[in-house]
Structures are given as C-alpha cells and as structure tokens.
Homo-oligomer: A and B are copies of this chain.
Amino acid sequence: MHRVFNFSSGPSALPLPVLEKAQKELCNYQQTGISVMEMSHRSSAYQEIMDETTSLLKELMEIPYNYQILFLPGGASLQFSMVPLNLLRKSKKADYIHTGSWSKKAIAEAKKYGEIRIAASSDEQQFREVPVLNKMVFDDEADYVHITVNNTIEGTCFHQIPHTGNVPLVADMSSNILSTYCDVSAFGIIYAGAQKNLGTAGVTIVLVREDLIGNAASDCPTMLDYQTHSKHRSLYNTPPSFSIYITKLVLEWLKEMGGVSAIESLNREKARLLYTFLDESKLFTSNVARNSRSLMNIPFTTDSDDLNQKFIEEAKAAGLVTLGGHRSVGGMRASIYNAMPLEGVQELVAFMSNFEMNNR
C-alpha cells in the first residue's frame, strides 16, 4: 500500500495504526457481529466507547473533576454561537482577542448576542504575530474573554495564556489541542474540532467548567444549550458515533506514544527542524514573527507565485501532499499535527533543500 505524507490543515493525517485498527474492526467490532457505524448509541457496547474516550481524554489532559467533557456536532463554527448563547448572561459583554480569520468569525457571531469588545488585536501587524497579553487589563464585568490559541491560517500561536482573573477564559484550541501541555484549570471552556489532533471531522470536543452550564436563555435552541448535552452525557440525540470512536483510537495511540509530554517533545523537534531550515533558506521564507510561531501550522513562501505552484506540484509528485497555503493567503503551508511523524518533516525538509538547490 502506497501511503503519502499529508500536510493538510484539516481534516488531516491520522496515525496509521489508528486507520489500521479501524479498518480491521470495520465490519465486526470486537466480536459484536456489527460495525461501530451500525451500533445503537444506547447499547452497552457503544456506551463503553464513549466512556473510554471520555476517560482517556480526562487522563491525557488532566482534566479537573469540575469540567464536563462534551462531544458535539457542528465544528468550532457552531461553538462560535454556543459560547455567547450560553455565557452572555450577566453583563452581556465579552472581550475577544482578534488574531485572524477564525477569531474574526467568532467575533462576528458573538456580536449578534451582546456587546463585544476587541480587547486586543494584531490586525495592524497583518496577524503575523499575536498580541502581547501579559499586562493586559480585561473588562472585569465581561461575561468571558475569548482567545484563538492557535491560528491555523496565519500560523501563529499564543505561547503564554493570559490571566483573566475571575472572568472565564474561553479558548478555541481546534488546531493545537493535545499538542503541548495545557493547564485546563486556567480555562472556563476549551473547544476543538476533532479533525486536526483528535480524530476525524464530525465531532467537536468541548470542555466546560460546570458553573458555566445552565445559563442559556429560554429561547436558545435545545441543541445549542450546553446543559442539554451535559445532562444527557452527550447522548441527548444520536451523536456522531463513528467520529467519536476514531477519537478514542487516536487517544489510545497518543497514550501509547507516551502522552502529551512525549508528543510535545516530538512536536517541538518537528517544528524546530522546519523553522531552522526556513531561517537558513535563501529561497523560502516564513512571515510569522518568531515569538508567535505555531508548532502546528507553518506557512512559508518563495517570492514567486509560479515557483510556489511548481513546489506544490513537485512535492505532491514526491509524496508530500496538501502543501498549498490557505486560499486567503496563498503560498505554502505545512500542517504538522500530532499524527505527522518526524520522518514526514525530515522528508519535507530534504525535499525543500533539494528544490532550493535546483531553483536558485
């Protein structure tokens, strides 16, 4: 079987052992005689899958007891609505940190429901860095502060999490969850679409501190109320059951790899390799400020659109696929999530190095 290295920003590469296990039990899950895809979500076999997924996530992220772990549909985009609908309950004010395309969408959505302040922004820096938040003063009265920790399109990341005092911090971690250590207790809510570091598309993981549940307005759609899902342990209706099962396999794989600390070392090594090459290259450049560089999404470019195109095509032919940059920014982007092995980045760097020699 000919597999390639897949640098897609999401849905993105899955660990091969995960795919192989899913493949093996696809028609008959653990002697049940049926596929996970055919399993009633009310069956004990499926409940076990949900329970194991929950407990693995709890263990790997060291999630404190006072957080609910929810498996929801609709992606981060639905969380852009669910967060304000559930949290804008007292002052109806919230502070948002604006760092790119995704925070922009989150802000636009929240503005439908309350008074939203852009508390910090790197708009003037074309989002090539994230704002410094150390000494920031947030609005004490805000119902929450929202941050996009890793910016998939811009290739930036907050390496320090701001202190927001008593105001709950809500974080979109779609593209960096489980990639490095994270102190969950610093957050009120963490949400992440599964299709980057957690599995495949269809399910979104939401960690919610329990005191933030139960405050939605009475006209909030039932499916958008965290309480609905918390009360029914993510089984209010049929969940995206196969996607949750894939998340279970990914978490099992991650645990076997040594958990978050082990994958963090590997991620740092992968990113170091690529950034070191970029910093020394005379052909390729990274536009992202050094202190804001993402470990997960690394955009780079040459000074010619034609050369970029040539690079993307030749890389593809060499088995290094989906290296095109986001349509809004062009150039190239390598997304090197947890599932990208070191060899993938080594091959990419070797290919880039060769390409540079041949195209200078």
Interface residues of A (CB under 8 A from B): 1-4, 6, 8-14, 16, 19-20, 22-23, 26-28, 31-35, 37-43, 73-78, 80-81, 85, 109, 112-113, 193, 195, 200-203, 218-219, 221-224, 236-243, 246, 319, 321-322, 327
Contacts and interface: CB of A to CB of B under 8 A. Distances in A.
A75 B11 contact: no
Contact of A26 (B6, B26, B327): B26
A14 B26 contact: no
Given A34-B3, A37-B11, A109-B222, A202 B242 contact: yes
Oligomer: number of copies: 2
Which label, helix, strand, loop or mixed, suits the secondary structure of the A interface? Answer: loop
A73 B23 contact: no
Given A201-B240, A241-B200, A219 B35 contact: no
11 contacts: A1-B28, A8-B38, A11-B238, A12-B40, A33-B321, A73-B240, A78-B221, A78-B223, A112-B221, A201-B240, A240-B240
A236 B243 CA distance: 19
A106 to B, nearest CB: 11
Contacts of A38: 6, 8, 11-14, 200
Contact of A240 (B40, B219, B243, B327): B243
A25 B237 CA distance: 30
A27 to B, nearest CB: 5
Given A8-B38, A74-B223, A241 B202 contact: yes
B11 A241 contact: yes
Given A40-B9, A202-B240, A26 B35 contact: no
Contacts of A1: 27-28
Contacts of A33: 2-4, 6, 319, 321
A43 B327 CA distance: 12
A85 B221 CA distance: 9
Name the residue among A6, A8, A73, A218 with the largest chain B CB count within 10 angstroms: A73
Contacts of A73: 73-75, 78, 202, 240
B322 A40 contact: yes
A272 to B, nearest CB: 25
B112 A219 contact: yes
